Amino acid sequence: MFPYLLGLSAASTVGSTSDQVEGVSSCYKDIGDCECVYEYCGARFWYGKRLKGYIRDRKAHYHKCCSGGKVRLRAERDPSQYIKQLLRNWRFMENIRAYNQMFSMTSFGAHVDDSINNGRAPYVFKISGEVYHWIGSLCPIEGDPPRFLQLYIYDTKNEVFNRMHHFGGERSGGLDQNIVEGLFDFLDEHNELVRLFQTAREKCAGEFVPYFKIRLYSVAGSRQYDLPTSQTLGGIVFQGSQDTETDYDVIIESRGGHPQRINKLHPSYMSLQFPLLFIFGQPGFHPEIKQHAASEGKRVSMNMADVVVRVFQQKVQEFCKFLKDSRLFGIVTGLLYTIEFQKRGLPHCHTLLWVDDKDKIQRAEDIDQYISAELPNPEEDPQ
């Protein structure tokens, strides 16, 4: 057997058919539009992602959304006009990662291996193990500037300045102070997590700051006491000690204390890290999501990143199928591929093929059947 390394990138994975786009090869594989609609929840999916081997009423079925109507998520609130306008503002979209990091309530955590940076080569950011998120105390240690969650609670009279300060202040490389002020006002009024922290803000505003903590419960609805500022978030502000902590509860101390690692199964995990995606602080997935039989649900739209990844996955599957069926390199006896994300997050695929012994390359001249570098004749080969 002989291995061949091949590559597939995400470029042009989302597009129209070859007869609609000039310069696209006639052998381009079009997977069609995302126009199949699941009858239970209204989720859209590609025909190629249908549940294989399951046919009923001649309808394509999907199994990665509501599990046949058993799972019902609460209806997502429609973003305000202000948020919709921001999403049409190219200056905001160009810097949306910076704006999100500016309002993020948790910090990046990982074991960074810096031993390879010995000064003889460009800097390499190498992570050993998994990536996770930390959440610290409500108030900074005396003398330290507020960061992340603390910006919502400590010295809020200068909150905009404090947020801009971490990104270079007024000379922040394209960040707009008016947008920062607008996002501050919006989240302060509409985000459930931020409104919860308002209670802590009031406690920190006095001369005497009592010993208190905030608990974000691991399951929405399991809270002991409801706050008047929130209708859905599982969280309370309490003083003294409580003995009902669970493995997934997040306990945030008022001062000091060690940073805590946020469990990925916590319903507020994504909202704490990506407040500009979960603008209302709404809870996400958690292990205790209840199942209900339902005949209808709420259609949820996908963002561009979802579309690119889902289309790319189908392209990879079609690519592997083509290599096997076409026998371009001979009879394929084994196939292995890995997906990498680089540059601005677009995926690409490295593929390793094993072919039958009678098809493996024997001579250097055989390589020319598969690998060549030339400038094509524009008249003979316009594509």
Tokens representing 212? 């208190």
Q: Which of 229, 190, 218, 241 has the alpha carbon at shortest distance from 80?
A: 190
Per-residue three-class SS string for the chain: CEEEEEEEECCCCCCCCCCCCCCCCCCCCCCCCCCEECCCCCCEECHHHCCCCCCECCECCCCCCCCCCCECCCCCCCCCHHHHHHHCCHHHHHCHHHHHHHHCCCEEEEEECCCCCCCCCCCCCCEEEEEEEEECCCECCCCCCCCHHHHHCCCHHHHHHHHHHCCCCCCCCCCCHHHHHHHHHHHHHHCHHHHHHHHHHHHHHCCCCCCEEEEECCCCCCCCCCCCCCCCCCEEEEECCCCCCCCCCEEEECECCCCEECCCCCCCHHHHHCCCCCCCCCCCCCCCCCECCCCCCCCCCCCHHHHHHHHHHHHHHHHHHHHHHHCECECEEEEEEEEEEECCCEEEEEEEEEECHHHCCCCHHHHHHCCCCCCCCCCCCCC
**Summary mean pLDDT of the chain:** 76
Question: pTM of the full predicted structure?
Answer: 0.62
56, 29 contact by CB (below 8 A):
no
Specify the pLDDT at position 21. Answer: 61
> 15 and 110, same structural domain?
no
Percent of the chain past pLDDT 90, that is, above it, reads 12
Q: How far, in Å, CA of 217 to CA of 64, rounded?
A: 26
Tokens representing 43? 């989720």
> 113 and 185, same structural domain?
yes
Greater pLDDT, 241 or 376: 376
pLDDT category of residue 169 using cuts at 50, 70 and 90 = low
The half-sphere exposure of 300 on its side-chain side, counting CA atoms within 13 A, is: 14
Last residue of a domain, one of 234, 255, 273: 273
- Give me the amino acid identity at 272: L
Range of 151-165, 244-258, 284-298 with top mean pLDDT:
151-165
> 214 and 92, same structural domain?
yes
271, 278 contact by CB (below 8 A):
yes
Tokens representing 40? 């239970």
The answer to whether residue 65 sits within a structural domain is no
Percent of the chain past pLDDT 70, that is, above it, reads 72
For 221-268, how does the pLDDT look when each residue is reduced to its tens digit (9 = 90+)? Answer: 444 333 333 334 455 555 555 555 556 677 776 666 667 788 888 888
Greater pLDDT, 61 or 228: 61
> 227 and 339, same structural domain?
no
The answer to whether residue 361 sits within a structural domain is yes
The answer to whether residue 57 sits within a structural domain is no
For 307-318, how does the pLDDT look when each residue is reduced to its tens digit (9 = 90+)? Answer: 778 888 889 998
Q: How far, in Å, CA of 199 to CA of 252, rounded?
A: 13
> Rounded mean pLDDT of 168-194?
83
Instruction: Tell me how many domains the chain contains.
Output: 2
The answer to whether residue 40 sits within a structural domain is no
Specify the pLDDT at position 236. Answer: 54
C-alpha to C-alpha distances, 130 to 127, 264, 331, nearest whole angstrom: 8, 12, 38
Q: How far, in Å, CA of 322 to CA of 19, rounded?
A: 21
Return the CATH number at 310.
Answer: 3.30.70
> 213 and 120, same structural domain?
yes
> 12 and 156, same structural domain?
no
The answer to whether residue 249 sits within a structural domain is yes
Q: Which of 225, 229, 208, 206 has the alpha carbon at shortest distance from 217?
A: 225
Q: In which domain, by residue range, is 101 found?
A: 81-273
Say if residue 84's pLDDT is above 80: yes
Specify the pLDDT at position 81. Answer: 92
Specify the pLDDT at position 287. Answer: 73
Greater pLDDT, 224 or 160: 160
Specify the pLDDT at position 333. Answer: 95
Per mean pLDDT, which range of 73-82, 97-106, 273-282 is the poorest?
A: 73-82
Greater pLDDT, 337 or 205: 337
117, 130 contact by CB (below 8 A):
no
pLDDT category of residue 170 using cuts at 50, 70 and 90 = low
